[in-house]
Chain A
Amino acid sequence: MADLATRPPLLHVARSRLRLRPGQTGVVIAGLVLLTTVAGSLLAPLVWPLDQSAVALDQTRLAPSWTHLAGTDDLGRDVAHRAVYGLRVSLLVGAVAALVATVLGGVVGGIAGTLGGRVDRILMRIVDTIAAMPHLLLGIFIVAMLRPSLGAVIASVGLTHWLSTARIVRSEVLSLRNRPFIDAAISGGAGRLRVLTRHLLPHVLPRLALATTLMIPHAVWHETALSFLGLGLPPHLASLGNMINDGQGSLLTGAWWASLAPGAVIVVVTFAIAVLAARWRDRFDPRVRAELHL
């Protein structure tokens, strides 16, 4: 039993995921779409380099064609090309920000869960209160105080998105604390820090990895919203939010395509992640299994 308990759950997850059944075509498509878009945008500098500050003032606002699959924008830049890089920029910012949030949430949740008692209560009250602050408003406040920049956007996402991670880690640590092998370690004379790093961390890490991954789309959204408001990345950078913001002006002059491609990229990637996450939840949600009333 102890053996089973110490095995990281992610392994089970991975093993059972590989078996595919007919009803899972949607999942397969979503996975493939996600894989190609993400890999494509990450590898883009190798195959399709982009000069972020290039303009072509003689090719402005061309409708989609075979040379410009998604048309060109107000400054004659290829929308499809920039959308690929927009996703890349947004994903990188999202990933770093999600990592920051995870570390922050992990530390707070870990401290709350390990120390327990009053510290736990106070920390969780703070988490509850910050959860009541509208993410976007708090994010805007942080960006405004740090001045809009790449670092500010990452800080803005990181400082607003760590709450769920803190809660996950705390509850995980709390449940682990009651397991016999932790008791054994403590009675064996191991220090608190040692127990935390040697025994608790390996258990919590898989959950953290999953939480970080699922946070990336949220981080991308946050970045996109800030950029759209003109509070995010420098506006000449091809990020998805900047592109939609730029495209807003083109909409009225008839160049609807300028905001279509970046928006579609967000929708497709988020949708794919949502499909995967929903299936994931269905798989591991005990409620679904309880459907059989015998």
Chain B
Amino acid sequence: MTRMRPTVRRFAASTAAAGMLVLAGCSAPATPDGSAGGTTLVVATSDEPDALNPVLNYGVDGASLIFDGLVSRDADNRLVASLATALPELSPDGRTVTAKLRDGVQFHDGTTLTAPDVVFTYQAVLDPRVDSTLRSDLDMVESVTAPDAATVVFRLRYPYAPFLQRLTLGIVPARLLSGQDINTAGFNRKPVGTGPYKVESWTPGDRLVLTANESYFAGRPKNNRVVVAFVADDNVRAQRMRAGEFDAAELPPKLASGFDADAAYRVQRVPTADYRGVMLPTGNPVLADPAVRRALNLAVDRAAMVSGILGGAGEPAFGPIPPTSEFTDASIIGKPTADPTAAGALLDAAGWTPGPGGIRVKDGRPARFTLMYPASDTLRKDLALAVTADAKKIGIGVTPAGLTWDAIDPRMRSDALLMGYGTPYDPDFVSYKLFSSQFAGQGYFNPGSYRSEVTDRALQQGRDQIDPNLRRAAYARFQKQLAADVPWLFLTYLRHTYVLKSSVRGVAPRVEAHEHGVANSLWWNIDTWTRS
């Protein structure tokens, strides 16, 4: 079927549709398979979730296909009501949020969604016995209560501007999970939600088969089934895409570009907030010198990385807030190409003089540091090597080290690390923990122990203020301070690249986050996709 020529397929589809009309007129609904609205769509990704349970970190930013949150996001990443009847209201003191539930929403097993389900979901995340790593994100929640079956009230410990953004978490049915050990519940493999698709089967390492939820509250999906194929290997995924097995697949930029010339495919390069950069720890004697950090910032050739490593699918990055965000500050954007002369002048001025082997020296200390990267990540390896090569040109010796995460862990205070993060939803989300001195030296949050009073204040204001203009000003100060201090060497924003069959209709790319897989990928709205 997949290899059928377009004309033939269109003919087959229209005949089937005509048949449907006739049948629909005189009998009960026929089996939808093969009908115009009854296609099976196949998408492929490398990221397989560990468990299909929002409490255990599945699809927490919404678009999880199986679950719905109180709110969700549209194609422009604006919040819209989902299970809630309208966007929940924040009380004037910023510490109470009340949500009214939509009427008559049913879980896939036919039971009705009520406020206690919502309460259960959030309380499960907050329950210390549950291995949910979302807990630290919901730190501000003091209590969740259900005054009646259709109302949920969140009480916060402190005012938190972007709290509504946290309400995308999918709601699970309390009935199926209460009293169980959520960490190991069978629900995690065969979940029940309210979303557009029901889980038909999940073969770990192979595929997740979803079928349309006929009674989805926002309207039945325009297709019948969705198969998510898990293919960890990029090359195999590309090969199988080429063989026509998938309607859409995420591929590394270089492999995706192989489909550019083929009219049967369409390549989508989706802008993201997903950045890569080098965390420069202040605990390193060489990197502690701001001059070295600034010189590196000038010396890296971001344009070459975008073209040579990302195959053009990316943008140079100069800060943690993506250019697509309303909070971005254009003044920090520098030259995309390297400026070794300016970098050299900076180092000269700071007293780093050329030494033996082309490595600069200051006070008898050679300008050398180790750059760690996770060994299993090819992209980060490539970027680390590119940084190494650029640094060498200005007399800074970088030793790349490919390690596992647990080997990287204890060394982050003193060795540089190629990291990646980023979310488009709110500037507070990742940056607060990454650059606030409160989190200095705490795990992966601020491993380099970057401390700046200006930054701390700006981040806190961005969180406390509800007024968007005040927030924007605060984040502008934040970005400028980072650009001056260079605690991170921001390199590139990625574009997530997807290859689609040209026949697929209804695709609406939106700015993506660092984390994307089954949920929150190009197919966030796959329930509206069709094939022409």
Contacts and interface: CB of A to CB of B under 8 A. Distances in A.
Q: Do A and B share a direct contact in the complex (Cβ within 8 angstroms)?
A: yes
Interface of A: 53-55, 57-58, 60, 74-76, 147-149, 230, 234-237, 246, 248-249, 251-254
Contact of A53 (B252, B307, B376, B388): B388
A253 B304 CA distance: 20
B400 A53 contact: yes
Contact of B254 (A74, A148, A230): A74
Nearest to A57: B308
B402 A249 contact: no
B400 A236 contact: yes
Contact of B402 (A75, A234, A252): A234
A149 B385 CA distance: 18
A75 B376 contact: no
B418 to A, nearest CB: 11
A147 B401 CA distance: 13
Given A57-B307, A147-B406, A147-B407, A252 B255 contact: yes
Main secondary structure of the interface of A (DSSP, over half): loop
B382 A74 contact: yes
Given A53-B389, A249-B378, A148 B304 contact: no
Given A235-B402, A236-B400, A253-B258, A75 B235 contact: no
Contacts of A58: 304, 308
B279 interface: no
B482 to A, nearest CB: 26
Interface in B200-235: 234-235
B304 to A, nearest CB: 5
B403 interface: yes
B381 A236 contact: yes
Contact of B308 (A76, A147, A148, A251): A76
Size class of the contact patch on chain B: 35 or more
Contacts of B254: 74, 249, 253
Interface string B381-397: 11011101100100000
B386 A57 contact: yes
Contacts of B489: none
Nearest to B372: A234
Given A235-B381, A236-B381, A57 B401 contact: no
A31 to B, nearest CB: 36
B385 A53 contact: yes
Contacts of B385: 53-55, 75, 236
Contacts of B407: 147, 149
Nearest to B308: A57
B431 to A, nearest CB: 29
6 contacts: A75-B382, A75-B386, A230-B375, A236-B381, A249-B255, A253-B258
A251 B74 CA distance: 39
Nearest to B388: A53
A60 B375 contact: no
A80 B376 CA distance: 24
A234 B304 contact: no
A249 to B, nearest CB: 6
Contact of B375 (A148, A248, A252): A148
Contact of B235 (A147, A148, A234, A248): A248
B258 A53 contact: no
Nearest to B376: A230
Contacts of B375: 148, 230, 234-235
A148 B407 CA distance: 9
B308 A60 contact: yes
A234 B401 contact: yes
Most buried by A among B234, B305, B402: B402
A53 B308 CA distance: 16
Interface centre among A57, A147, A234 (most CB of B within 10 A): A57
Contacts of A254: 258
B124 to A, nearest CB: 32
B403 A147 contact: yes
A76 to B, nearest CB: 7
B309 interface: yes
A141 to B, nearest CB: 15
B286 interface: no
A147 to B, nearest CB: 5
B239 interface: yes
B398 interface: yes
B308 A249 contact: no
A189 to B, nearest CB: 54
A23 to B, nearest CB: 45
A57 B305 contact: yes
The 4 closest A-B pairs by CB, nearest first: A57-B308, A234-B402, A53-B388, A57-B304
Nearest to B408: A147
Interface string B411-427: 00000000000000000
Contacts of B381: 235-236
A254 B305 CA distance: 21
A252 B308 contact: no
A251 to B, nearest CB: 7
B208 to A, nearest CB: 25
A251 B238 CA distance: 11
Given A55-B382, A237-B402, 12 more contacts: A53-B385, A55-B308, A148-B375, A148-B403, A230-B376, A234-B401, A235-B375, A235-B381, A236-B384, A246-B378, A249-B255, A249-B378
Given A53-B398, A55-B389, A234-B375, A252 B305 contact: no
A182 B307 CA distance: 72
A252 B406 contact: no
A62 to B, nearest CB: 13
Interface in B245-277: 252, 254-255, 257-258
A148 B400 contact: no
